[in-house]
Amino acid sequence: MQLATFQKEKNFILYDAERFCDGGKPLEPPGIGAQEGAARGRCASSMPLEPRWFFPDYWRERDAVTGEAPGRGASLFLTAPDRPDEQWVLRPYRRGGLIARVNDAHYLWTGRERTRAFRELRLTAALHAKGLPVPRPVAAGVWQHGFTYQAALITVRLTGARALADCLADADAALLERVGATIRRFHDSGLDHVDLNARNLLVTPGGEVFLIDLDRCRLRQPGRWQAGNLSRLERSLKKFGASASLPAILAGYHDKSDG
């Protein structure tokens, strides 16, 4: 996957250059890869990107919202504008905790490449390129307001997938071991998932396990963070009354390391 960026007024978009044209002002950030630079001005479709795509009201007005995911960000499921047989997930970035009472959507602006949306999309694209099970990224949108910004992310929806949290009641050992093996694959690639829980692991109708929501995650050298990820998942399983699922997940995790 090749990524490219463009700017329209104070909107900054990072997108899949193999899929879309931008029609905006090209950006040349320091250190940009040769492939990304070469991708500009070339696309597989005549569909131009629209900054409006990152605003939920745009899709509601067009009756293109097909559903909504749980969570504070109120992620929407959308019909893709260029492929009617495909759905997208639009996830606005939202704050949690006490600060959300006074500021639930604005973040400090320190440059577009340091925004949460750009960092998450680049990380997702890198993992996707390695063949790891993450949703295919579509685009990240950031709009600047002086010293702050708001952002949203669009990815391809895994149609029919359910959160592991919703599968725990009837999950067999084979599925739970696949969950553990999948987590180990990400750990072996250096991914520190700071919010590894039973809702950020998705199971497709075919039994594949995917990892989602890479906000604030990063690639690291092996360390104690790996055990920390697993401890967070253990707390999540306990919250859903499924602590008994942990041994099979850990069996799959360690079998992966042995293999």
- Say if residue 115's pLDDT is above 70: yes
Q: Is 140 exposed, middle or buried (0-12, 13-18, 19+ CB in 10 A)?
A: buried
Q: Rounded to an integer, what distance in angstroms lies between the CA atom of residue 91 and that of residue 12?
A: 16
- The answer to whether the CB of 128 falls within 8 A of the CB of 200 is no
Q: Rounded to an integer, what distance in angstroms lies between the CA atom of residue 179 and that of residue 248?
A: 9
- Say if residue 39's pLDDT is above 50: no
- Say if residue 256's pLDDT is above 70: no
Q: What percent of the chain has pLDDT over 70?
A: 84
Predicted confidence at residue 32, as pLDDT, reads 39
Q: Kindly indicate the confidence band of residue 101, based on its pLDDT and cuts at 50, 70 and 90.
A: low
The residue ranking higher by pLDDT, 146 or 45, is 146
DSSP string, 211-255: E---TT-EE--SSTHHHHHHHHHHHHHHHTT-GGGHHHHHHHHHH
pLDDT single digits (tens) 5-37: 988 888 999 999 988 876 544 434 433 343 444
Strand runs labelled E in the chain: 3-8, 11-16, 25-26, 65-68, 76-79, 87-92, 107-108, 137-145, 148-156, 162-163, 191-192, 201-203, 209-211, 218-219
User: 26, 17, 79: which is closest to 53 by C-alpha?
Assistant: 79
Range 94-116 average pLDDT: 78
Query: Can you tell me which residue has the tokens 């992966």?
Result: 256
The size of the chain, in residues, is: 259
The residue ranking higher by pLDDT, 43 or 224, is 224
Predicted confidence at residue 207, as pLDDT, reads 96
pLDDT single digits (tens) 48-70: 788 899 999 999 999 999 999 87
Domain boundaries in the chain? 3-156, 162-258
Catalytic residues: 195
How large is the C-alpha radius of gyration of the chain? 19
- Say if residue 121's pLDDT is above 70: yes
pLDDT single digits (tens) 164-191: 999 999 999 999 999 999 999 999 999 9
Q: Kindly indicate the confidence band of residue 137, based on its pLDDT and cuts at 50, 70 and 90.
A: very high
- Say if residue 4's pLDDT is above 90: yes
- Say if residue 198's pLDDT is above 80: yes
**CATH code, 162-258:** 1.10.510.10
Give, in order, the Cα–Cα distances in Å from 35 to each of 19, 32, 59, 125, 208.
Answer: 15, 8, 32, 14, 31
